[in-house]
């Protein structure tokens, strides 16, 4: 347990530009050191509890491996196996876990549940995805863009498809990092109120339209995500409505010649993206997946108050 307000990592827009820039710098440095075989034991003897109320491949493995590389340990918990599934409150769960572990990472659909856990936890809580936000993903995305193309400031970014948690965190990032984000989503899946407010808050940095072709034009980065997020129930209807939003070679051809393609994964090949694009030379999806590891190590160090450099 710690004293003072714990350093939670819940939403991109809880932070200033310089705080996030500091974490990205730390991530880059940890990545370079790892490639040199250097694994600084910055979180030696620290224990991270991970609660997964939903499926995960990348988040689960990258946090686990990241903690081990930093000398720490992890406990993997599933919501179903915890008393949470028998109506113990998030608040009581937070109070108890705070007595045992140094930090908590949670993936849970309800953002209000995440907030409740954080409010009652005396150790840092990290958002491993809610229906509202996926901030760890966006840190990896920013890192990946900048590794390939340099500063994201002023870059033209196109989001094509559904309006969801990953988009929400991108909207927050666009405002802070000053890149021009154009969002193309169909009327049927127009952003919910909460996201709309953040889009308005982002002002000139974020534009919301319906036409995927217009969004793709002259883009430096095109981003797709699944059409059916965890918690969505109308899969067949979504696949029908979102069909014109597939990222394929025709759409990529409208972007700048050296435009990158990103997708947080898991991908549904043949739906939101074709094999040609995701396996093509512009795709950086596996660098993006790798960078989850490095970005989250930096987030863990920040949360636990450990300087990387
Ligand atoms: N991108 C992402 O969060 O992947 P997982 O659902 O596999 O963790
Ligand atoms: N938008 C997706 C992201 C998965 C990592 C979902 O919420 O299911």
* 45 CB-near residues (< 8 Å, 6+ apart): 71, 72, 73
Q: Indicate if 129 and 170 belong to the same structural domain.
A: no
How far apart, in whole angstroms, are the C-alpha atoms of residue 162 and residue 212?
Answer: 11
Asked about 134 being catalytic, the answer comes back as yes
Q: Which atom of ligand 2 is nearest to the CA of 230?
A: 8
What pLDDT score does 101 carry?
98
Q: Indicate if 143 and 112 belong to the same structural domain.
A: no
Q: Which atom of ligand 1 is nearest to the CA of 60?
A: 8
User: Which two three-digit tokens encode residue 266?
Assistant: 């898991």
- Residue 278 falls inside a structural domain: yes
How far apart, in whole angstroms, are the C-alpha atoms of residue 243 and residue 83?
Answer: 41
Q: Indicate if 174 and 285 belong to the same structural domain.
A: yes
CATH number at residue 83: 3.40.50.1370
Q: Which residue has the tokens 């190590």?
A: 297
Asked about 107 being catalytic, the answer comes back as yes
Q: Indicate if 42 and 160 belong to the same structural domain.
A: no
282 lines ligand 2 (CB under 6 A): no
Across the chain, mean pLDDT equals 97
Distances from the Cα of 230 to the Cαs of 135, 146, 225, in angstroms?
16, 29, 12
pLDDT per residue over 186-213, tens digit each? Answer: 999 999 999 999 999 999 999 999 999 9
Domain span at residue 173 reads 137-289
Contact 215, 248 (CB under 8 A): no
What pLDDT score does 125 carry?
98
Confidence of residue 3 (pLDDT cuts 50, 70, 90): low
Res. 222: pLDDT tops 50: yes
Element (H, E) at 263: strand 260-263
What pLDDT score does 1 carry?
44
Per the omega criterion (within 30 degrees of 0), is the bond before 266 cis? yes
What pLDDT score does 4 carry?
80
Binding residues for L-ornithine: 165, 225, 229-230
From 13, 64, 225, 271, the catalytic residue: 225
* 138 CB-near residues (< 8 Å, 6+ apart): 12, 166, 169, 170, 172, 173
pLDDT per residue over 132-155, tens digit each? Answer: 999 999 999 999 999 999 999 999
Q: Indicate if 82 and 159 belong to the same structural domain.
A: no
pLDDT per residue over 272-294, tens digit each? Answer: 999 999 999 999 999 999 999 99
What number is the ipTM of this complex?
0.99
pLDDT per residue over 62-102, tens digit each? Answer: 999 999 999 999 999 999 999 999 999 999 999 999 999 99
How far apart, in whole angstroms, are the C-alpha atoms of residue 260 and residue 280?
Answer: 10
- Count Cβ neighbours within 10 Å for each residue of 122-157 and write b for 16 or more, e otherwise: ebbbbbbbbbbbbbbbbbbbbbbbbeeeeebeebbb
State the greatest distance between any 2 C-alpha atoms of the chain, in Å, as a whole number. 55
Q: Indicate if 245 and 125 belong to the same structural domain.
A: no
- Residue 6 falls inside a structural domain: no
pTM of the model: 0.98
210 Cα distance to chain centroid: 24
Q: Indicate if 248 and 188 belong to the same structural domain.
A: yes
What pLDDT score does 309 carry?
78
- Residue 67 falls inside a structural domain: yes
Q: Whose CA is nearest to atom 3 of ligand 1?
A: 59
Q: Indicate if 91 and 230 belong to the same structural domain.
A: no
- Residue 210 falls inside a structural domain: yes
Q: Whose CA is nearest to atom 1 of ligand 2?
A: 229
Confidence of residue 302 (pLDDT cuts 50, 70, 90): very high
- Residue 3 falls inside a structural domain: no
The pairs formed by 3-7 with CB atoms below 8 angstroms and a separation of 24 or more are 6/118, 6/121, 6/122, 6/123, 6/124, 6/125, 6/303, 7/124, 7/302, 7/303, 7/304, 7/305
Q: Indicate if 43 and 146 belong to the same structural domain.
A: no
How many A from CA of 37 to the centre of ligand 2?
32
- Residue 171 falls inside a structural domain: yes
Asked about 225 being catalytic, the answer comes back as yes
Q: Which atom of ligand 2 is nearest to the CA of 164?
A: 1
Res. 2: pLDDT tops 70: no
| Ligand 2 binding pocket mutation candidate from 229, 265, 271 (most atoms within 8 A of CB) | 229
Q: Indicate if 18 and 114 belong to the same structural domain.
A: yes
Between helix 285-303 and helix 58-69 the angle, nearest 10°, is 50
Asked about 149 being catalytic, the answer comes back as no
Q: Indicate if 74 and 191 belong to the same structural domain.
A: no
Number of structural domains (the chain) is: 2
Q: Indicate if 285 and 295 belong to the same structural domain.
A: no
- Residue 2 falls inside a structural domain: no
Q: What is the mean pLDDT of residues 7-19?
A: 98
Phi, psi of 283 (to 5 degrees): -80, 135
């Amino acid at each position: 347990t710690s004293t003072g307000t714990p350093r939670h990592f819940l939403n991109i827009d809880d932070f200033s530009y310089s705080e996030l820039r500091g974490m990205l710098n730390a991530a880059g440095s940890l990545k370079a050191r790892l490639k040199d075989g250097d694994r600084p034991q910055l979180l030696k003897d620290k224990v991270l509890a991970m609660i997964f109320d939903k499926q995960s491949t990348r988040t689960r493995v990258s946090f686990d491996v990241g903690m081990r590389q930093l000398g720490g340990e992890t406990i993997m918990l599933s919501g179903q196996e915890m008393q949470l599934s028998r109506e113990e409150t998030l608040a009581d769960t937070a109070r108890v876990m705070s007595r045992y572990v140094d930090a908590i990472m949670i993936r849970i659909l309800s953002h209000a549940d995440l907030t409740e856990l954080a409010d009652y936890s005396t150790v840092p809580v990290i958002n491993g995805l809610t229906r509202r936000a996926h901030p760890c993903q966006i840190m990896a995305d920013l890192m990946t863009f900048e590794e390939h193309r340099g500063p994201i400031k002023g870059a033209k970014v196109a989001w094509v498809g559904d309006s969801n948690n990953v988009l929400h965190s991108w909207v927050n990032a666009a405002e802070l990092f000053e890149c021009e984000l154009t969002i193309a989503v169909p009327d049927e899946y127009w952003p919910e109120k909460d996201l709309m407010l953040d889009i308005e808050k982002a002002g000139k940095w974020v534009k919301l339209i319906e036409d995927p072709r217009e969004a793709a034009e002259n883009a430096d980065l095109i981003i797709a995500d699944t059409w059916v997020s965890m918690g969505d129930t109308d899969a067949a209807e979504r696949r029908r409505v979102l069909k014109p939003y597939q990222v394929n070679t025709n759409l990529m051809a409208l972007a700048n010649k050296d435009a990158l393609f990103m997708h947080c994964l898991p991908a549904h090949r043949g739906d939101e993206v074709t094999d040609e694009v995701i396996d093509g030379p512009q795709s950086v999806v596996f660098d993006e997946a790798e960078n989850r590891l490095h970005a989250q190590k930096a987030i863990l160090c920040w949360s636990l108050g450990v300087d990387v450099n």
